[in-house]
Amino acid sequence: MDAYSRCLDEMFGLRRFGIKLGLDTMRRLLDGLGHPEAAFQAIHVAGTNGKGSVAAMVASVLRQKGIRTGLYTSPHLVRFNERIVIDGRPINDHQVLQAYRRVRSAAQTDREPTFFECTTAMALAEFARCEVEWAIVETGMGGRLDATNILAPALSVITNISLEHREYLGNTIRAIAYEKAGIIKPDTPVVTGIRQPSAVAQVEAAAAKNRAPLFRLGKDFRVRRHPNGSFTYSGIDRTWQQMKTSLAGSHQAENAGLALAACEVLHRLGLELSPDQIRSGLLQTSWPGRLEVVSTEPFVLLDGAHNLTAARNLARHLQTRLSERSITLVVGILDDKPYRGMLQAMVPVCRKVIVTRPRIGRGLPVDTLLQVARKMNPRTQAVGDVKQALLQAMAAAGPNDAVVVAGSLYVVGEAKAALEEMDLDNRTSIH
């Protein structure tokens, strides 16, 4: 086993320490690293859905201006390196190894860092070493006690709020909004897409307490979708018409609206971004595993759809864009997700269903999913391995059929890895 592989094994081994919310360990880690987080400007992004898409869009726009840009997101789909991206490219294996060694040598803490604390410190250290000018950093869970909340950003973005990670964040929209609003910092502007009154109240209270200017979707800026796939952005200071994003799904217009509002706020902070740079950035955004078409013969669509809102968005997309295709759904869901509601959203729009389970320990057993899904669609079967489930679905797909892989980014990642192994770019059919 080479040094990089051993490094990954050690990192993934840190998952045995579980999830520990709090910032004391991160503070000690970054102190030992010489505070790399102070070496660049940051945009901090939290929310339930869309935070990765928004982060990717903003990063793409900044790159169009020629700014050296870092992007930190999670989870990865196929390779760990995808979590830490500089100027649109994941860092290489040597960089991963060196960053990990730097963090481990600095880990003079009261307890062992968790996997996410370690990877967050690695990202910040590598951004500083590579002289990134701006970093867009996505939270892992919640916000207030998330490892990324060690940042002092120039701008905070909270995409939206729905029920998730209840054992850590709370059982109500209000409680979860309080945790997400914890990323709001003194005198630091905030852009948000939340709409529920109880969630809005929490964010408004946090913004007022911190004297943070707050810009809300639907109040301070708006997005109007058009039938041709474009949208009009009526913004804080300006209006842009016929805007488009490369990301599929009608919900991406609102995510793009949040990214555009962030660009407007950055302009107010002195970072001038031209309309051409913004348009080009949206059109060149890449965010794999979200309504991503990875094969046309047979037609295969990958979408994380890892919570109820995302599952409903996927179902809406399938009904409007793939209504003429016979769909086989390959679905696996983690044990902390509302799997009954997610299945209720996705299963009825599909002709056949294959329930499966990702290798990560948090995956729901296939028997649990099978019992629920079969009541909604009797043409449901179980295949315990994601790759085999995908192969079976593709082998049975006709020329007008579609295979949709969804329910978890871990499931999508395993499917994507399997497709890469099969080298689908050089194939025309699985038959």
Confidence of residue 258 (pLDDT cuts 50, 70, 90): very high
Is the pLDDT score of 163 beyond 70? Answer: no
Same domain, 387 and 268: no
pLDDT, tens digit, 9 for 90 and up, residues 168-226: 555 688 888 998 999 999 999 999 999 999 999 999 999 999 999 999 999 999 999 99
Residues 6+ apart with CB under 8 A from 308: 162, 163, 337, 338, 341, 342, 345
Alpha-carbon separation of residue 407 from 35, 202, 298, 311, 385 (angstroms): 37, 29, 20, 7, 14
User: Which runs of E-coded beta strand occur in 84-129?
Assistant: 84-86, 89-90
Residues 316 and 416 in one domain: yes
Within a domain: residue 125? yes
Across 222-367, the runs of DSSP E, i.e. the strands, are 222-225, 231-234, 239-243, 292-296, 299-302, 326-331, 352-355
108 phi and psi angles, rounded to 5 deg: -90, 75
* Average pLDDT of span 226-240: 94
The Cα 375–Cα 373 span in angstroms is: 5
Answer yes or no: do 326 and 422 share one domain: yes
Indicate whether 272 and 297 sit together in one domain.
no
As a whole number, mean pLDDT of residues 284-311 equals: 92
pLDDT greater at residue 344 or residue 162: 344
Residue 171: CA atoms inside 13 Å, Cβ hemisphere, count? 0
Res. 429 pLDDT band, cuts 50 70 90: very low
**Overall average pLDDT of the 307-318 stretch:** 93
Alpha helices, DSSP H, located in 351-385: 366-376
CATH number at residue 276: 3.40.1190.10
What is the enclosing helix (H) or strand (E) of 104? Answer: helix 93-106
Is 431 contained in some domain? no
Q: How confident is the model at residue 293, as a pLDDT?
A: 93
Q: Looking at 254, 283, 312, which one is the last position of a domain? A: 283
> For position 431, what pLDDT does the model report?
41
Element (H, E) at 135: strand 134-138
**Residue 422 pLDDT grade (very low, low, confident, very high; cuts 50, 70, 90):** confident
Residues 303 and 171 in one domain: no
User: What is the residue-averaged pLDDT of the chain?
Assistant: 92
Sorted by sequence, the CB contacts under 8 Å of residue 63 that are 6+ apart come out as: 69, 87, 88, 281
pLDDT bin (cut points 50, 70, 90) of residue 165 is: low
Answer whether residue 308 is part of any domain: yes
For residue 90, the model assigns a pLDDT of 97
Quick: pLDDT tens for 63-85: 999 999 999 999 999 999 999 99
- Clarify whether residues 261 and 348 are in a common domain: no
Query: Among 217, 252, 283, which residue terminates a domain?
Result: 283
Q: Are residues 171 and 238 in the same domain?
A: yes
Helix (H, G, I), strand (E, B) or coil at 147: helix
Same domain for 351 and 413? yes
- The Cβ-side half-sphere exposure at 390, using a 13 Å CA radius, reads 28
Same domain, yes or no: 79 and 215: yes
Amino acid identity for residue 60 in this structure: S
58 with 166, same domain: the answer is yes
How many domains does the chain fold into?
2
User: Which pLDDT score is estimated for 427?
Assistant: 45
* Contact call for residues 258 and 191 (beta carbons, < 8 A): yes
> Residue 18: its pLDDT value, please?
65
Cut 0.85: pTM above it: yes
**Which domain range does residue 335 map to?**
292-426
Average pLDDT over residues 290-319: 93
Q: Does one domain contain both 274 and 371?
A: no
User: Which pLDDT value is given to residue 430?
Assistant: 44
CA 341 → CA 13, 222, 307, 345, distances in Å? 32, 29, 9, 6
